Each structure stands twice: as C-alpha cells, then as structure tokens.
Chain A
Amino acid sequence: MIQVEHLVRRYGERTVVADVSMDMARGSMTAIVGTSGSGKSTLLRMINRLVEPSAGRILIDGRDTAAEPPHLLRRRIGYVIQGHGLFPHRTVAQNIATVPRLLGWAPERIETRVRELLTVFQLDPAQYGAAYPHQLSGGQQQRVGVARALAAEPAVLLMDEPFGALDPIIRAKAQEDLLAIQRRFGTTVVLVTHDIDEAFRLGSRVAVMSEGRLLQYDTPAMLLTHPADPFVARMTGVSDRALKLLSLTRVGELRLFPVEAATAGAAEPRIDASLSLREALAELLWQGTGHGIVCDATGRPLGRISVADIAAHGRGP
C-alpha cells in the first residue's frame, strides 16, 4: 500500500531522516515510535508531502507521490494532528465537510457522510453538528478531528501524536475507538507516538526510530523477544517485557483446557475472553486462585485457564 524507499530528509547539515525504507500493508496499522527528535514526525509528514524528501521516494498504491501536486495528494490522505487543529470559526459539521467540499462532492452526499461519521463517533448529529469546536470537550474535539480526516473516505490515514493531549481515561477510549473505526473502514493507518504502550496497543507492526534511522520494524512480539538493537530493548522496556508480551495476546486466542459447563465451579473466577493475558493474570492474582473459567461475551464457558498457562506465554526466547 505505502512503500517508503530510501527516504532522506536533511535540514542544512543536519540529517533528520536517514535512508529509511519500509512497507505498510493495506489495512494495517503501523505505529512509528521514537524519542523526540528521532525524525518520526518528519517521516510521517513526508508521506503527505507536508515535508518534501531530500532523497528517496514514497509510493502509494504503486504511484509515486511526487507525481501529483501536493494539495491534491493530501485530499486523498487523512491527517490527524495533536491538539486536533479544528477550524474555530466553523461548526463541527463544516469542519468534517472540509475535504469533501474541496473535492466538490454534492451537498446531499456531504450531509449524509457528515451524519454517518458523527454517528460512528458517538456524537449526536442534531446536537453537535451545528456546535462550534470550543463548545466541545477535549475528547469530543479529538473525535471530530479524526472524523474530519476520514470524511472523504481516504485509503490512508496519517496520525501525528493524535492522543497526546488527552487524559489517560479518554485516551484509552480513543484508542479503542480508533481500532474499531480502522476495522470498520479498512483504512491503512500510520501513527506516530512517543508512547511505546500506545504503539504496542495499536500497531500491528511497530517501527522504532532513533536519530533519523529506522532501527527495527516488526511486530510488537518480535520487538520484545528479538530487539535488533540495545536502543530498541531500552525503548520497549526491559524490566516489564514479560508483562508487555502477555498484554499482546488475548485469552480467547489461547488453546484452552476444555471444561464441562457442569464442572465449572462457582468458586472459580470468570475471565472474559476479550481480556489480554496480562489482565487475566492480574485478575487471577487478585482473586487468589490459580485458575479461572474463560467465558465469552454471552457468559458461556470456553475453558479453564491457569496462572501457569499464562506464565508460559511470558517466557523470553
């Protein structure tokens, strides 16, 4: 979907992005993580040409992005920034309609799309459509920012620290929403963050950058178990890497020891199949039992899980 080939960006003597090559698959969510000044934002901004590469090229769907005028390219690519950047003089509906209007959609089509997006983002169109951004809470502003970026159904969505300005509770909700939205629309998402936990939660693949170089680009599990570089190991965190590894797998994905409904003791704690292994472990430790019954969303028991089963998944290579 997106192919980044030998991308370089220099500012005078300083090289901010040094020879980065990577591919992002269609419908995937890629997280680019790094410390500030690592070049991650510059890399992202080169994809929609807010920054022009000094060397190298980017292909989207096989087409070189340099081949068309930048403002036309950007209308096909969603873009979300930290602090949302909503237009303060336009209503929520007008904000969301920005790119469709630039593309010359028919008014009825725009209205239908705005309504649909507001509903998807749990904002009542009647209540919020005519509101101005300053009348919304921070979490709502952020959702409108994402809705605006998705308005013209872009195949690619770029996000630069999109949740950086949100408090932890709203951020967790926004991350969940983003995963749901991405599954719903099948958008290819590239997200920049300095928060490794966020990168692991959202990214199907994570790119670690430092000083302009791409150190490793792999699945979260591979980054944890086979860090390519001491910096990657430091970045992903050494002290709690077993727990991080556990948080990558959901209980429902495990092969469970089957259990008869009748034998499932009432005393055993129930574990929701959608929990991560880390959350399930925490729950079992909290309950003080060595094992629990995994249930699906309807409460039907799926099998039994023990602390030892979980622990086996946290073992390093």
Chain B
Amino acid sequence: MALRAAALGVLVLFLLRPQWFAPLFTPLTQYGAPPIYDQGNLLELALAQLGTVLLAALASTVVGVGLGLFVTRAAGRAFLPLSRTLVDIGQTFPPVAVLAIAVPLVGFGEKPTLIALFAYGLLPIFENTIVGLRSCPPQVLEAARGMGMSPAQCLWSVELPLALPLILEGIRLSLVINVGTATIGSTVAARGLGEVIIAGLLSSNNAFILQGALLTGLMAILLYDALVGLERRVCRSVRID
C-alpha cells in the first residue's frame, strides 16, 4: 500500500515537475546534454499514451466480449475455431509489423497505433470471456432456465455476472500489456512517452531512455493495481463453489 502510494507520488511529481528530478538524471548524460526531456510536455505525452491505450482497450473489449458471447451461443458455436484463429493472429503478429502494414493504409499518427494495440489486446479479453462464460455451473444455468428466464435474461442476470471476474481480468491483462506496447507507436508519430525513449536512442541520451521507460513502467504498475482493486470491489459477491 505504502509502495503503491510512493509509486503514484513519484509518477505524479515527475509528470508535473520534471525538473526536480534533473539532478538524478544528470550523471547519465554526456557533453552537457539535457537530463530531462525538453522537446515536449511529459504530462501531455503520458496522458496521450494513456488515452490511446484506453481507446484501444475499449475497442478490444467491445469486440472481444462480443465475439466471446457470440461463439458461446448455440448460433455462433460453429464460428469458434475461425474466431480463435483470427484473434490468435492478432496476438502472434508483432505490433511493429502491424504498424508497418497499417501506416500505408491509414497514414501516420495515432490511427495505426490504435489498430496495432487493438489487435494485440484482443486475445486475453476474448479467451477470458469464453472461459468465464463456460465456467458457469450447469445446474445454475438449468435452474435459471427452469425458472423461466428467457435466454437474454439468463445471459444478463446469470451468465455475465458470473463471468465478470474473468472478463475484467482479461481487460486488465490487455490494458497492462498495451501500456508498454504503446511506446512503439511513437515510431509512427503517435503522441506518447515512446517519443522520449526514441529521442534518447537517436541522441544517445540514456537519461531520456530511462525516464521514458520509468514513467511507462510506473503507469503500467499503477494501472494494474487500480484494476485489481476495481475487480475486487465489483466481484466481491461473485463466488462459485
């Protein structure tokens, strides 16, 4: 808890008052290069990256959960192998390669990054949705049906609530993976902390590389923590024995 608060403090402070950390990074620079990224506002970059990741996760969630629901219904069962293959490709295909393909199609900027992150983050959400829906005890479903719930009522008030912990876990995995992955978006001119890392690589400034990585890492850890907390709150009552 104290560690989490400290991490949050470091992150917020670094984003708001980066110059305070200059003395720490000065030893990493050579020939009087600036110790703190000076070609943009760190807070703005961090928020832009977070925004991209959240938008991609929203799309992955809508498609992943929707597809997961569809292939677990009687009507969609035949599409499970096909859906799985497509989603697997999204995960297997390196995001960098997706960027390379997407840029000629949609141009530079945020769009190709969104596509790459969307494809990369689909798998955990899709698979967890399927496992969550399938782990619903058969007697519970039988009881729901036997008491006169329509298929839609059964889905909304029994299956989804019981699958929710696993679905949330999938969304969390997807988000956390993509906070890190999003840094490569900066290679195609998406705004984000990747910019800081790339600037460091181009000018051989280790201080830039380290602060870009550090901020991204802190964001991922804090997001993970926050989502675990949220899952606990939402799912306190969902227990399957």
- Chain A positions near chain B (C-beta within 8 angstroms): 48, 50, 71-76, 79, 81-91, 98-99, 102, 132-134, 145, 148-149, 158
Contact = CB atoms under 8 A, between A and B. Distances in A.
A102 B241 contact: no
Contacts of B145: 50, 71, 74
A71 B148 contact: yes
28 contacts: A48-B146, A50-B142, A50-B145, A71-B145, A71-B148, A71-B150, A74-B146, A74-B147, A74-B148, A79-B146, A81-B139, A81-B142, A81-B143, A81-B146, A84-B143, A86-B143, A87-B140, A87-B158, A88-B239, A88-B240, A89-B162, A89-B237, A89-B239, A90-B237, A99-B148, A102-B148, A102-B153, A132-B237
A134 B238 CA distance: 10
Contacts of B140: 85-88
B149 interface: yes
Closest 4 CB pairs of A and B: A85-B143, A75-B148, A74-B148, A79-B146
A71 B148 CA distance: 4
From A73, A89, A90, residue with most partner B Cβ within 10 Å? A89
Contacts of B153: 102
B232 to A, nearest CB: 14
B217 interface: no
A88 B148 contact: no
B144 interface: yes
Given A71-B148, A79-B143, A81-B146, 6 more contacts: A72-B148, A84-B143, A89-B161, A102-B148, A102-B149, A132-B237
A223 to B, nearest CB: 29
From B145, B147, B238, residue with most partner A Cβ within 10 Å? B147
Interface in B158-176: 158, 161-162
Contacts of B139: 81-85
Contact of B241 (A72, A87, A134): A134
A148 B150 CA distance: 17
B241 A85 contact: no
A148 B143 CA distance: 10
A212 B177 CA distance: 56
A202 B220 CA distance: 62
A84 B137 CA distance: 11
Nearest to A98: B147
Contacts of A71: 145, 148-150
B142 to A, nearest CB: 6
